[in-house]
Amino acid sequence: MTDFTLWDIVRNLLLAGRWTVVLSLIAFVGGAAVGLVLTLLRMGGFKPIRWLIRLYVDVFQGTPLLMQLFLAYFGAAALGFDVSAWTAASLALTLFTSAFLCDIWRGCVEAVPSGQWQASRVLGLNYLQSMRHVILPQALRLAVPPTVGFSVQVIKGTALASVIGFVELTKAGTMLNNAAFAPFTIFALVALGYFILCYPLSRYARYLEKRLYGAGIR
Amino acid sequence: MTLDFSTLLPYSGEIMEGLVTTLWLTVVTTFVGIALAIVVAYVRDLESGIMSRLLGGYVEVVRNTPFIVQLFFLFFGLPALGIPISATVAALVAMILNLGAYTAEILRAGIDSTARGQHEASRALGLSRLQSYRHVVLVPAFSRVYPSLISQCIIVMLGSAVVSQISVFDLTYAANFIQSRNFRGFEVYLVVTLIYLLLAVGMRRSFELVGRRLFAFRQGGSA
Amino acid sequence: MALVSVKDLHKSFGDLEVLKGIDLDIEPGEVVAVIGRSGSGKSTFLRCLNQLEQHDWGTIHLADQRLDGSAMSPGELSQNVGMVFQSFNLFPHKTVVENVMLAPVVVKQTPRAEARKIAEEVLDKVGMLEKVDAYPAQLSGGQQQRVAIARALAMDPKVLLCDEVTSALDPELVGEVLLVLESLAAEGMTLILVTHEMKFARDVSHRVVFMHQGRIHESGDPQTLFTQPKTPELSQFIASVL
Ligand SMILES: Nc1ncnc2c1ncn2[C@@H]1O[C@H](COP(=O)(O)OP(=O)(O)OP(=O)(O)O)[C@@H](O)[C@H]1O
Ligand SMILES: [Mg+2]
């Protein structure tokens, strides 16, 4: 049964690893897009919308990602759609990412001193113009390090897509293990795969943060 | 689409059982994980050398790999090496290692922001490094990073849903079990998700309550 | 026989030589005020005396016992030399009495009941007995500084070092702290005080030491030193602070 060479294992993991990367990109880009819209809406004045977005963020931050995946998968079925693991995983991870990014970015916008708002309003800029020309550029600098940092959570989050049958790095690992039965090696390699993806991002996030706050901005 | 929650009722026992497991795993992890973090943060911050490096490696590995992979590695990998481990123990160890790594980093941020005068005062009083860490540095450091600590403990509780994948009978396992019997996946997961949400809210409330007592020294006012 | 004996003390930070050879003998019960311009090395000198800074050259003896280098453990040192800081540095998470008891219990291994008694004695001495259970955040600056003095006294040191202990205080709170120091002096405590309170230095100290550019430029009894400075640097300094 164990006519798997180490290279076979590595090759199969690498092939599956592509889907981890693709799913991460979908979730991150999709999540960023949705998250940006939510952040802008949330900064606006309309109370019920702010309240709803806050609820959205709290729900996604207060429930397991695994449950969100199950709900996307079974929820779509309950609605009569026959969705693939691809669709369900992309959807759940995108929404999950958007909620966390919305929360991170709101913090960054709020960290811009209120004097900046007042100054731009006094100059006659309206809400969108102040946002676009004054607040966002400053918030953006603050937002980059934690956003990069959160991308690590997104990549790790994609591992849960394996549970609903999406074949990415982790799922490939369990499947290979069923065939080759070398759990120690296989899961160490799987972990290594994630580490190679995540560690540089973690380091980069930390570097950016040091540079930002080391430069005396606050 | 019609939702039918009545088919869940016969399974309230399973949900209770799962809930109890999730709860005790979380409580034990919180205590042991924080204790681990206290040790790791001390060695990482105030000692140098091989031990500090090793623990740094541990923290990075945990933070840069998915919890589910850590879990599989422990549960499937260790027995293959001749180290038998039950699903529950694997789950508990993985959760503790996780919380320990993240909390150590959180705590270090709090330790680093200790005023220089605090270190000098304890040195002038003759406290050793370890005594100073224990009696002078630790509590104020915790109080400064407490909000992050709360969030981290909640994240680990929510992440524990994954232990269902190695057949630990937690809340999520209960949900999967019921789903496989009554085929009302959406309703089951909706209810269980709500329970998790309530757990998260309850945890935050309890932590805040404990924090107010533990860190009462921060509130000024008349004596 | 001098209680504290400093010989040829040198200290540099990188290329900056801050102490360029300090010699000073202090008798038991003596109150020495150290004055001088900002940057003249007063704090550094004091911090060398309890080894918060390691000096590069020279010796410090305390009652015939070598104090510097690694001749004394931090625990022993703290029972010989106490220190009070400009910024109080009370431990925020401990009540007044816990602040005072900490070092006796942890460092000296004094039983808690006994440590409590000692704490209450020293707190009484500084007039803070009624605030034993308050947290530092609930006290005024002057009260915090008095607790800090009590905390140092609880280790029963032979010498107490005070580095500008009233500089961080609102003017109306300075008096209560100086009063405590005065009573300690009257009791025979050996005190080395860096201070900008010239009136206090003149009235309370037995000797004033004027530091200038890392050296003891002039020293003597307060009356003569303040009224008949020998060097132009000291006259300038006195003119600038009075
Ligand atoms: N840890 C340190 N590293 C580098 N330089 C230092 C350090 N501590 C003190 N210095 C420098 O040594 C010199 C003397 O400092 P010190 O604090 O002893 O002066 P001081 O007489 O106490 O002044 P002040 O009245 O302002 O308190 C200063 O130039 C100061 O910048
Ligand atoms: Mg000074």
- φ/ψ of B99, rounded to 5, equals -60, -40
Is residue A1, in this structure, part of any structural domain at all? Answer: no
Pick from C10, C18, C217 the residue to mutate for probing ligand 1's pocket: most ligand atoms within 8 Å of its CB: C18
Q: CATH number for the domain including B147?
A: 1.10.3720.10
Q: What is the pLDDT of residue C10?
A: 95
Q: What is the pLDDT of residue A21?
A: 97
Residue A91: domain span: 6-212
Chain B partners within 8 Å of A78 (Cβ): 1, 3, 185-187
**Sequence-ordered list of residues with C-beta below 8 angstroms from that of B141, at least 6 positions apart, any chain:** B107, B110, B111, B113, B114
Pick from C12, C13, C50, C212 the residue to mutate for probing ligand 1's pocket: most ligand atoms within 8 Å of its CB: C13
Strand, helix or coil at B220? coil
Using an 8 Å Cβ cutoff, are C4 and C11 in contact?
A: no
Residue B78: domain span: 6-216
Ligand number nearest CA of C38 is 1
Ligand 1: centre distance to CA C198 (Å): 21
Ligand 2: centre distance to CA C50 (Å): 15
Q: What is the pLDDT of residue B223?
A: 39
User: Parallel, antiparallel, or unpaired for β C207-212 and C31-36?
Assistant: parallel
**Sequence-ordered list of residues with C-beta below 8 angstroms from that of C33, at least 6 positions apart, any chain:** C193, C194, C195, C200, C201, C204, C205, C207, C208, C209, C222
Is residue B222, in this structure, part of any structural domain at all? Answer: no
Residue range A134-166, pLDDT digits in tens:
888 899 999 999 999 999 999 999 999 999 999
Is residue A217, in this structure, part of any structural domain at all? Answer: no
For chain B, the distance separating the N- and C-terminal CA atoms, rounded to the nearest angstrom, is 62
Q: CATH number for the domain including C222?
A: 3.40.50.300
Is residue A89, in this structure, part of any structural domain at all? Answer: yes
Mean pLDDT of chain A: 91
Three-state SS for A72-109 is: HHHHHHHCCCCCCHHHHHHHHHHHHHHHHHHHHHHHHH
Residue to substitute from C99, C106, C149, interface B, most B β-carbons within 10 A: C106
Which of C89, C92, C102 is closest, CB to CB, to B120? C89
Chains C and A touch, contact meaning at least 3 pairs of CB atoms under 8 angstroms apart: no
Is residue B47, in this structure, part of any structural domain at all? Answer: yes
Using an 8 Å Cβ cutoff, are B122 and C50 in contact?
A: no
Q: What is the pLDDT of residue A131?
A: 82
Ligand 1: centre distance to CA A79 (Å): 73
Is residue B44, in this structure, part of any structural domain at all? Answer: yes
Higher pLDDT, A7 or C35: C35
The finding on whether C15 has its CB within 6 A of some atom of ligand 1 is: no
Taking residue B138's Cβ as centre, other Cβ atoms within 10 Å add up to: 19
Q: What is the pLDDT of residue C8?
A: 94
Atom 18, ligand 1: which residue's CA is nearest?
Answer: C41
Bridge-partner residues for C24, per DSSP? C6
- In angstroms, the CA C80 to CA C88 distance is 20
- In angstroms, the CA C106 to CA C85 distance is 21
Count of all residues that appear for chain A in the document: 218
Residue C212: domain span: 4-241
- In angstroms, the CA C7 to CA C218 distance is 16
Which of C50, C95, C138 is closest, CB to CB, to B221? C138
Sign of the torsion formed by the C-alpha atoms of B59, B63, B69 and B71: positive
* B214 in reach of chain C (CB within 8 A): no
- Count of structural domains, chain B: 1
Q: Do B126 and C91 touch (CB under 8 A)?
A: no
- Count of structural domains, chain A: 1
* Matching residue, tokens 């007044």: C96
Is residue A218, in this structure, part of any structural domain at all? Answer: no
Using an 8 Å Cβ cutoff, are A144 and A208 in contact?
A: yes
Whether the pLDDT of residue C242 is over 80: the answer is no
Q: What is the pLDDT of residue B222?
A: 42
The finding on whether C43 has its CB within 6 A of some atom of ligand 1 is: yes
Point out the least confidently predicted range of A42-46, A183-187, C160-164: A42-46
**Sequence-ordered list of residues with C-beta below 8 angstroms from that of B13, at least 6 positions apart, any chain:** none
SS3 percent helix, strand, coil of chain B, rounded to 5, is 85, 0, 15
Q: What is the pLDDT along chain B (223 residues), one digit of tens a residue?
A: 577 788 777 888 999 999 999 999 999 999 999 999 999 999 998 777 899 999 999 999 999 999 999 999 999 999 988 999 999 999 999 999 999 999 999 999 999 999 999 999 999 999 999 999 999 999 999 999 999 999 999 999 999 999 999 999 999 999 999 988 887 888 899 999 999 999 999 999 999 999 999 998 887 644 3
Using an 8 Å Cβ cutoff, are C128 and C150 in contact?
A: yes
- In angstroms, the CA C32 to CA C239 distance is 21
Ligand 1: centre distance to CA C41 (Å): 6
Q: CATH number for the domain including A46?
A: 1.10.3720.10
The mean pLDDT value for A52-79 works out to 92
Rounded percentage of chain C residues whose pLDDT exceeds 90: 82
CA C204 to chain centre: 14
Chain B partners within 8 Å of A80 (Cβ): 1
> Has the ipTM of the complex gone over 0.90?
yes
What is the edge-to-edge ordering of all strands in the sheet holding C16-26? C16-26, C4-13, C57-62, C65-66
Ligand 1: centre distance to CA C65 (Å): 28
Neighbouring chains of B at 3+ CB pairs under 8 Å are A, C
Residue range A196-212, pLDDT digits in tens:
999 999 999 999 998 88
pLDDT band at A1 (very low <50, low <70, confident <90, very high): very low
Atom 26, ligand 1: which residue's CA is nearest?
Answer: C38
Q: Do C74 and B222 touch (CB under 8 A)?
A: no
Q: What is the pLDDT of residue C65?
A: 86
| Shortest CA distance from C47: residue in chain B | B124
- In angstroms, the CA B125 to CA B110 distance is 22
Count of all residues that appear for chain C in the document: 242
Chain A partners within 8 Å of B77 (Cβ): 183-184, 187-188
The structure tokens listed for B74 are 């422990």
Is residue B71, in this structure, part of any structural domain at all? Answer: yes
For chain C, the distance separating the N- and C-terminal CA atoms, rounded to the nearest angstrom, is 35
The mean pLDDT value for A178-185 works out to 90
For chain A, the distance separating the N- and C-terminal CA atoms, rounded to the nearest angstrom, is 60
User: Parallel, antiparallel, or unpaired for β C81-84 and C190-194?
Assistant: unpaired
Residue range C132-166, pLDDT digits in tens:
999 999 999 999 999 999 999 999 999 999 999 99
Mean pLDDT of chain C: 93
Higher pLDDT, C70 or A11: A11
Whether the pLDDT of residue A217 is over 70: the answer is no
Ligand 1: which atom is nearest the Cα of residue C44? 18
- Count of structural domains, chain C: 1
Chain B partners within 8 Å of A199 (Cβ): 60, 64
Three-state SS for chain A is: CCCCCHHHHHHHHHHHHHHHHHHHHHHHHHHHHHHHHHHHHHHCCCHHHHHHHHHHHHHHHCCCHHHHHHHHHHHHHHCCCCCCHHHHHHHHHHHHHHHHHHHHHHHHHHHCCHHHHHHHHHCCCCHHHHHHHHHHHHHHHHHHHHHHHHHHHHHHHHHHHHHHCCCCHHHHHHHHHHHHCCHHHHHHHHHHHHHHHHHHHHHHHHHHHHHHHHCCCC
Ligand 1: which atom is nearest the Cα of residue C47? 18
